[in-house]
Every structure is written in structure tokens, then in C-alpha cells.
Amino acid sequence: MAAGKKGWSPELAGLGKRAKHARERIGFGVREAADAVGIDNSSLSRLEAGKRLVELDVLIQLARLYRCPLGWLLAEDQPLPPLDEAERLSAVGDRRRTSVGG
């Protein structure tokens, strides 16, 4: 993946856009999501802006948290299916656990 001189590339921009969409879909803020996967919120913000790569294990954790396929985060052009009620409630439970440090 070739990045431009400022660290931006179309691939990173697509990943960032999809990551932000998936995060917002479950109702998490940047800080909540970053805390849940153990990274700085600035790292997640930069990922979503297409300016930073993260390790594969972080992407896997984000995909699990966001209830989306890892392949979709990485490159798929298909729409992300809506959450069903059980997935939405599960994300809310994750949000509560991360807000109390658990």
C-alpha cells in the first residue's frame, strides 16, 4: 500500500471511512471505541482520517467490537448490513462495560 508524502493513501482513506461508519453504527464515540480495544483515541482518529495504520490485531478487535466482518473493514465495497436487535443490545452492553473500566 503506497502512501503519499503526507501518509495518506486511497486504501487508508477507505479503511478509515469504513471504520468510522462501523463505529458510529454501534453508537460509540472515538474515545469509547479506542478504550475498548486498548489504543489511544488519537490513533483511532488518525486511522479514521486515513492517516495511520494499525496492527492487524487491533483491526480484528475493532471488527469484533463493531460487529462487522474484518474483510468489510479492509476493502469490501458492499454495504454493511444493519444490526439486528441482539447485536445492538450487545454493543450497548460493551459500551457499559468499557465506561466502567470492565
Q: What is the pLDDT of residues 17-68, one digit of tens each?
A: 999 999 999 999 999 999 999 999 999 999 999 899 889 999 999 999 999 9
Where in the sequence is the domain holding 25, given as residue range(s)? 10-99
Q: Please determine, for residue 2, whether its predicted confidence score (pLDDT) is greater than 60.
A: no
Output the CA torsion 84→87→34→77 (10° steps).
-40
Q: What CATH code is carried by the domain that includes residue 14?
A: 1.10.260.40
Q: What angle do CA 21, 57, 29 make, to 5 degrees?
A: 35
- Locus of grid cell 469509547: 32
Q: How many domains does the chain have?
A: 1
Buried b (16+ CB within 10 A) or exposed e, 55-92: eeebbebbbebbbbeeebbeeeeeebeebeeebeeebe
User: Is residue 61 in a domain?
Assistant: yes
User: Is residue 2 in a domain?
Assistant: no
User: Is residue 1 in a domain?
Assistant: no
